[in-house]
A and B are shown apart, each in its own frame.
Chain A
């Protein structure tokens, strides 16, 4: 089932008496989510991504705009008529019901010709439980389960009605680091197996990039960029997206373009054909640095952090936005600082430049 948002806007009234200071949580969203894909809705906290999810789910009503599931206009429908399954951040499993009762709960709500017999419901519940591999825990209560197991129960409960769209709100935020890795693979597997269009919200870019077919990057209620994770990473539209994706984050320097060349220090860093002379932000991905004794970028040497496969060189540069410059270099290299300096050249495709005022990408 494809999901289409059309000029979707959600405003919340301001808290004070002054009605004008309203908050625009979702500002004029228009996009299409293709059928059967896993979508990551990504952004820092407070960017409106949960609001967006609640709009799709039907818990909130949009101020304006339309939502379509396939060809159906579902904008004004209550959640239950939309055919969505939702997994809440804290799972919202009913603590007084067993796993089985929790999974069967949505089925028991069905009315009219959709009403099911008890056996049919139990069979459905078991099927869903098998899918998420918790069929041996059916008679436990949520309090007796680990975080990861609770997460699976929540997914089973969301899937049992065979929803048209599955929504997950920060599905991994309550798990510890190891479980998070495991569970995100699990979510990917379940999504692939069922083929249900899935939208999940997260503030963790690594999480989003690792399992999504497409990611949607948001900032302050405004959609910034849509694309496949690698494409967005390699080709960010603005400084915000570039900075938000990638760990360690991109290194941003104050630079300038002169004669179609990019300068940070005195030596030209790369050629930027077709770009006018101006002040710019120059972003260099950590993996874009090459140790080079003659390199144009001269940094004060800080430290070397060994990470096994790679090493990370920490250095300082006055033009850098953040206090340290982080570069990741193959562990075969040996860092030999000269008079406390370390010099780099850069891989041109790992360097992005941005307009100093608008922070929009300048392509070359």
Chain B
């Protein structure tokens, strides 16, 4: 028995080492960092412990800008993408012909490189002295005035970021909702049909409650995901996100760590912990709400 005991630990050893070094230790360390004041990464010394890092971060206009951007992004993209995905999934599960083709197409953004396709979005929306770009050509065609969505006004940049984020997260949502819809037994619909239930009522009273666990799962993961948006923004606006007012919280963390404005792991840690607390709080609120509304 003892021999067996040891052998199991041997099997687990690599995982434990890697997790210990790159998950557990950093997790403790990040809290230590966040309370070490005046940490110097070159000499690895600090003045002492305290809450200064948090206060610095919370008073940093770049951080507040990032928080504002992130919240806007979350509030706009999560409901929109979930609603749109629900609409598309319902449509998708009501058809027979071309269903596979549509499903395959809809999944494509999931397997693309965020940075690479972001460039395509950039050139679609960008306005340069030589060209208005395709989007602006369209806007002009419908009688609007051209806007530079990449280097222009704040709302325009936010709009593109939201659009791109939605484009990126849709495949996952459509996939999950479609399979949730497929798992609702045909019997229920037949029973509803015999009772003469209207389409809308069937959807609202039967389908929606039945897939509500998936919807709430998507909302929760959607919130978490949107709070961590970073590479989408980089793809559209380049690495210097502070300059373009388009930074996100995660972007702020990385900027603090490395790059032109980097070298402050303490501030980065404080920001990361603030982010973690925000996400945790929102997830808990989501869970409480879903407890009330998700059936069975």
A touches B in complex, CB < 8 A: yes
Candidates B196, B205, B212, B295; contact of A79 at CB < 8 Å: B196
- Other-chain residue from A85, A96, A105 in contact with B296 (beta carbon distance below 8 A): A96
* A143–B191 CB distance below 8 A: no
- Give A74 Cβ to nearest chain B Cβ, in Å: 13
User: Is the pair B196, A59 in contact by a Cβ cutoff of 8 Å?
Assistant: no
Mask of A220-242 contacts with B, CB within 8 angstroms, 1/0: 00000000000000000000000
Q: What is the interface size of chain B, counting residues whose CB is below 8 A from a CB of the partner?
A: 20
Within 8 A of B (CB), among A108-135: 108-110
Give residues 37-93 of A contacting B (CB, 8 Å). Answer: 57-59, 78-81, 84-86, 88-90, 92
Do residues A109 and B190 form an inter-chain contact, with CB atoms below 8 A?
A: no
Residue B183 is within 8 A (CB to CB) of chain A in the complex: no
Known: A58-B194, A92-B191, A96-B209. A109 touches B201 (CB 8 A): yes
Size class of the contact patch on chain A: 20 to 34
Q: Is the CB of A90 within 8 A of B210?
A: no
B187: CB under 8 A from chain A? Answer: yes
Q: Assess whether A95 is in contact with B194, with CB atoms less than 8 Å apart.
A: no
Question: Does B59 have its Cβ within 8 Å of any Cβ on chain A?
Answer: no
Report the minimal beta-carbon distance from A141 to chain B, rounded to whole angstroms.
8
B198 with A109: CB separation less than 8 A:
yes
Given contacts A58-B194, A78-B196, A84-B194, contact A92 B296 (CB under 8 A): no
Which B residues from 168 to 196 make CB contacts under 8 A with A?
A: 185, 187-188, 190-196
Question: How many Å lie between the Cα of A174 and that of B183 in the bound state?
Answer: 20
Cross-chain contact B194 with A79 (CB below 8 angstroms) = yes
The one of A57, A80, A92, A105 in contact with B187, judged by C-beta atoms closer than 8 angstroms, is A92
The residue in B195, B196, B205 that gathers the most chain A C-beta atoms within 10 A of its C-beta is B195
Residues of A within 8 A of B (CB): 57-59, 78-81, 84-86, 88-90, 92, 94-97, 105-106, 108-110, 141, 143, 157, 161
A-B contact pairs, 25 of them (CB 8 A): A57-B194, A58-B193, A58-B194, A59-B193, A59-B194, A78-B193, A79-B196, A80-B196, A80-B197, A81-B196, A89-B187, A90-B187, A92-B185, A92-B188, A94-B206, A96-B209, A96-B210, A96-B295, A105-B195, A105-B205, A106-B196, A108-B201, A109-B198, A141-B296, A157-B191
Which residues does B use to contact A, with CB under 8 Å?
185, 187-188, 190-198, 201, 205-206, 209-210, 212, 295-296
